[in-house]
Amino acid sequence: MFRDRTVSLVIPAYNEEVTIRQVVEEFRKEPHLDEIVVVDNNCKDRTAEYAAAAGARVVAENKPGYGSALLAGMTAAKGDILVLVEADGSFRARDVVKLLVYLDDAGMVMGTRTTRQMVQQGANMRFLLRWGNVFMAKFLQVCWMRPSEPRFTDVGCTFRALTKVTFEKIRHRLSQAGPAFSPEMMCAALQERCRIIEVPVTYSPRMGGESKHSDTFLRQAKTALKMFRTICRKRFLERGAPKSPPAS
């Protein structure tokens, strides 16, 4: 719990049996977290078994994709505050409190992996990937310079926190199943006039495996194109005006 608000951690997972137990165990030691939700996104290994054994609540999402898993996890989470993180061990539990503190002043707090001093040796943030994220973040920033004046340096960082109230405001605007879900969340929050703050977080080497979206230049390029299209659609086709969610 953080300042009388319950906190849920959401971890999307696809075949992460090598890392999931260690990640859950590390974040369970973070005193502000009330629950850890691991989303089994069609895992073909023992990810779900290991996550449950480590103390997480496992929910299943059959629709494939990073965005689909995150959406399912946030919907299932019970906390007043939602913290999102990767299953690969590249983020540290000690940084959770950084995100939570700034929620007093914002509806969403983004982590950024592009602060060079916070990127550990061996982390998957090589030159092109780092500056590609910076470029796309600055493009998003310029698109919403009026009226929001945001400051962004990273569009692909999963590590972020938002209030459940913010999630309920933006969930009807979220449709991307893949990695473009990350900037889509940012755009949706800006469309709904939610304040977003970005803070640097430690970015460590993966504990195992390779990124499913940025391990090769071709995948990086495809992901960047999807993100660019998503940002353009959210800003120029939806025009950024708040709209009411569909009636339940």
CATH number of the domain enclosing 61? 3.90.550.10
Asked whether the CA dihedral 208, 69, 193, 98 is positive or negative, the reply is negative
Is 248 a domain residue? no
Domain range for 80: 7-237
Is 243 a domain residue? no
Is 60 a domain residue? yes
Residues in contact with 225: Cβ distance below 8 Å, sequence separation at least 6, in sequence order: none
Q: Are 87 and 68 in contact (CB under 8 A)?
A: no
Is 246 a domain residue? no
The pLDDT value recorded for residue 131 is 74
The pLDDT value recorded for residue 64 is 95
Which ranges constitute the DSSP H helices of the chain? 20-28, 47-54, 66-76, 96-102, 127-143, 164-170, 181-191, 217-232
Is 89 a domain residue? yes
The pLDDT value recorded for residue 174 is 96
Side chain identity at 10, as an amino acid letter?
V
Q: How many residues make up the chain in this entry?
A: 248
- Full-model pTM: 0.89
Asked whether the CA dihedral 224, 182, 21, 98 is positive or negative, the reply is positive
The pLDDT value recorded for residue 220 is 78
Is 247 a domain residue? no
Is 245 a domain residue? no
The pLDDT value recorded for residue 147 is 79
The domain tally of the chain equals 1
Residue 244 to residue 208: CA distance in whole angstroms: 42
The DSSP output letter for 123 is -
Question: pLDDT (tens digit, 0 to 9) for every residue of the chain, 248 residues total?
Answer: 999 999 999 999 999 999 999 999 999 999 999 999 999 999 999 999 999 999 999 999 999 999 999 999 999 999 999 999 999 999 999 999 999 999 999 999 999 998 878 776 566 667 677 778 899 999 999 998 887 789 999 999 999 999 999 999 999 999 999 999 999 999 999 999 999 999 999 998 877 655 555 556 677 788 889 999 999 999 888 865 555 554 43
First-residue to last-residue Cα distance in the chain: 30
Is 2 a domain residue? no
